[in-house]
Amino acid sequence: MSSIDYEHYKFVADKGQKPLRVDKFLLNFIEFATRNKIQTAIKLGHVKVNNIVVKSNHKVKSNDTVTVVYDKPKETYELVAQNIPLNIEYEDNDIIIINKDSGMVVHPGHGNRQNTLVNALIYHFKNLPIAENKERPGLVHRIDKNTSGLLVVAKNQSSMSILSKKFYDRKIDRRYIALVWGDLENDKGTISGNIGRHPKNRKIMTVFSNSEIGKKAISHYRVLERFHYTTLIECKLDTGRTHQIRAHFQHLGHPLFNDFEYGGAKVLRGTVFAKYKQFVLNCFKICSGQALHAKSLEFSHPTTNKKLKFDSELPSHFQKLVDKWRKYSINQNTNS
């Protein structure tokens, strides 16, 4: 190998990581990677665990540092400004409130260099502040690709710093609407469980019973409507972990409706009769991903300190989904 190595990827295995072959570990971590490419990199000596070159069958364990290094720098690219329409709910000299559509990726990443929210932001707004990651100008927080709803964007460095601290200090009230599988036992409740990367599938998160593994996560919920086989809820977050609502409700045994990654994209409640199954399949077709919408944001303005509250309607596909379940539930009660 060259006397100069350039780090392309670096991952630290979570405390709860069970021994896993390094090729499988990297396959779960590196988006769009193929097993063949990973194994080739390992054979060429480009993969290290705790700074030691390893073979494919090496087992990655808790707290191990896995790096992928090459003899040339990691390829860089410039963010492309794209004239993509944005749903702007509010704007002033310091902040922008965006209502993101389901299906839009928030920021560029491997395999998604264009057509993201950031590509649209840098077209419509100049000189957005850069935080730790230069690929995410203006972003204070994010929501998943298939989650719709409200995001706050900072227009200057001062606003970014203040808003980032508000998120860290849990001084921003965020409320989500979700449709989950099953009939929740209680009308309201709190889910507390540390969240971290799944030990085997690194692309999703999981809840750990051991308080020393993962990061503290707290979600509060209340039931809005019950449809017997599904339940419409409002969820308020105390913390902002990756996939927090999705992981917490999977852990509770009530994954989000049509959430493929967390087991909600199949018939989980109800009968196996063809008519009901077809109804559920038709519901899946309405929404492209998990039934989750970031409905409201409430916080103090970073400059004026004035209390601000923003609320959004459910997108049409989500509202149609709710209407279908409501009608089905009413018909079931009438016929029973």
Q: How many CB atoms lie within 10 A of CB 122?
A: 17
Would you say how long the chain is, in residues? 336
Residues acting as catalytic residues? 144
Strands 292-300 and 148-154: parallel
Cα 155 from chain centroid (whole Å) = 23
Please report, for residues 66, 75, 132, 156, the alpha-carbon distance to residue 122 in angstroms, rounded to integers and kept in the order given. 34, 21, 17, 13
